[in-house]
Amino acid sequence: MRRTGHVIRRVIRSQAARRRLLVVLSLFIGLRLAWLWLPGHLYPLPDTLFETRDYARIVTDNRDNPIRWELGWRESWRFHVPLVDMSPHLIHATLAAEDSRFHAHNGIDWRSVARAVRDNLLSRRVRSGASTLSMQVARMRMPDSPRGWRRKIQQTAWALTIERRYSKNWILAAYLNNAPYGGNIVGAPAAAEKYFSKSVSDLTAAEAALLAGLPQRPSALRPDRYPDRALDRQNYVITRMRTVYPDLYADLTAGFHLQARRSFNDPDTTGALHFCRLALREADGNKSRGSPRTRLSTTLDSSAQALLFAALRRGVSRLEGVKDGGGVIVANASASVIALVGTLDAGDASDGMVNTCAAPRSSGSTLKPFIYAAAIEKGLLLPATRLNDSPLVIGNYKPENYSGEFSGMIPAVDALVQSLNTPAARVLAAVGVGDMIETLERCGFSHLTRGAEDYGLSLALGGGEVTTLELAAAYCGLARKGDCKALIFLKESSALSTASPFSKGTIAMISEMLASSPLPGLAESRGVSWKTGTSNGFRDAWSCAYNQDYTVIIWLGNKNGDAAAGLIGAESALPVAAEVFAGLMRETPSTTSDTMASDSLFEPVRLCEKSGLRAGPFCAAPVDSRGVKGISLRECFICRRLLDTSLPASENTPASAVSAGHDKLTILSPAPQVYFTRESHLSLHVRGSGPAATRWFNNGELLPVNGNADMVDFPLGKHHITAMNPDNGQTASIAFEVKNYD
């Protein structure tokens, strides 16, 4: 009976023990789960810690030499460098000074907490803290949060979540890239550049000890302002390094020699500021998730940049009343910009930030090659086709050639090379202004936003606006034989291809036409094709030149649009382009002089010697020539009209004004509308695009109009104007009305 009672008591005690054990275990597990769950739910960690903050960036040229430094988040110098690329001395010094048990805790170092509590209670003031690197990373994420217990609890909760979510190496890298090191210097990589002008990977042990001590009180310990305080702090860090890593730093002594940068950016002596801005914009457009980009490797060739800047400076210095210039050099093989000068006065506080290469300006004659190319593509002309260079009225003004003279019937190649205006306007009329605008848009010109009626034939003479960069891309497309690509500024970028509106044969023919005259001022042109341009009123001077290797676009003028007598493309901008090309050829002596054309792009064609169009049965003495393969040149109509008198006048009338001595008859003024006046009559210009012998009729009566332009008084009432070409009977008519104001 006694034995049975003893057994019962043992069973009861064991069951009670088990219950106590289960209670203790349940309490432990519950507290553990609460410890893991509560911080993350009471103070959830943001999905991103530092990813939304822009890092400062280093822009380098194509040889990886820094050319520009750009501020980052909150105007700070803050660069991102992977942990593996940082000096191991910096890692050791940081751990020794801030968190020697970093790899042993889970975000909270309880030993340090106990030590801090003891020290602070004994001294009755706050003598030391117990923040781990994880807690400091959390604090960096909340720089604007007010101090207090609430912030400390949130910081601790975030530290625990950070430890669970990220690796130790990630936390250490986050600390070193985001810790404060004095002023607007954030992160050890920026501090290494600021205080020692070197990469964070090249820090010595002593320099690492100095930097590792700064985040405790970054403003008070700045070595460039308070060297004695910085030295004391460095001594403390070195003592800690000897304690934690005795085998590595037993002999390390304090001391430092600063090679501080006064500014990250050296004076811009080659005008590269605007190139860097465009490269940064391209990088922003190519942003992708992943590691932040600190170093941007660009396509800039510093030698070419200096060459372009110096040539522009000399070109502007030769011109009175001209203050600025800009230009672009493109390496055609990759469509990469290797030099860009947006302005010569980047330091000017008022408008130095204006990039003239991106500013729309009057095109002058720079679009003529594309107009001629469109005509070749339509089968309207070849280089030998005769064009009419005679007086012509376009809209409200009468275009004239720079020489003030007219050449009569002239081969298209000569009209293009000499940049004659009336032939270009007639070619544009044959192509069609609307079609030409669409073609130019496909070439990359995006500022031709007005309607065809607004531009009219003046589009051929500078009536539209383009930018230097648009011209560079379009002429680069010609240099690449129609393989058009968007210009790039970063080495890692791949240029996007666009379909050219022209065939390879047309482009080859235009390039030959533009290269038929050597580039003035260049000893050896080596197949350089070139074109100049001057805007109306002498406000912009252009030069566009290219060969197989490079495209060079030069603009001279004033940002405010002030005119100057010297702003003539062939006289001011062209010498600058020639100087740039000469320098490029010295740098690349292997440049070939092979023609850009290929015989496979052409086919034999028989031309009329008189018109330069495809010879027909009425053409005497046809000549052998080349045409673009796959494009049928229109047949000569002049010889047929002169010899086949049985044809009615309507069939003798040319469909275009390209090679005829008589233009397509068009009434330019008056317009078919209602005019209002307070008088009994209204004086209107009577203008037309056609032969000088045009006869004008109003309501069937002959008008006293001299040629194709004059002022005529029209009484109140309805009027029906007819213009007639007496040579071929072609007519044009419009109706309008003159009324009094009610």
Q: What amino acid positions are annotated as catalytic residues?
A: 98, 365
223 alpha-carbon distance from chain centroid: 40
Query: Which pair of structure tokens corresponds to residue 681?
Result: 């009559």
Rounded distance between C-alpha atoms, residue 295 and residue 439, angstroms: 39
- Please tell me the distance from the alpha carbon of residue 531 to that of residue 543, in angstroms, as a whole number: 6
Helices (H), 456-609: 468-479, 504-514, 574-587
**Among 512, 504, 483, which Cα is nearest to 495's?**
483
Question: Contact at 8 Å (CB) between 447 and 465?
Answer: yes
Distance of CA 38 to the CA centre of its chain: 50
Cα 107 from Cα 87, distance rounded (Å)? 24
At residue 715, φ and ψ (nearest 5 deg) are: -75, 170
Classify 220 as helix, strand or coil.
coil
Q: What is the DSSP pairing of strand 408-411 with strand 336-341?
A: unpaired
Asked whether the CA dihedral 56, 57, 58, 59 is positive or negative, the reply is negative
The H or E element spanning position 31 is helix 2-42
CB 441 within 8 A of CB 374: no
* Residue type at 23 in one-letter notation: V
3-state helix, strand, coil in the chain (%, to 5): 40, 20, 45
Q: φ, ψ for residue 406 (rounded to 5)?
A: -125, 150
The H-or-E segment that residue 485 falls in is strand 484-485
SS3 562: coil
CB 159 within 8 A of CB 137: yes
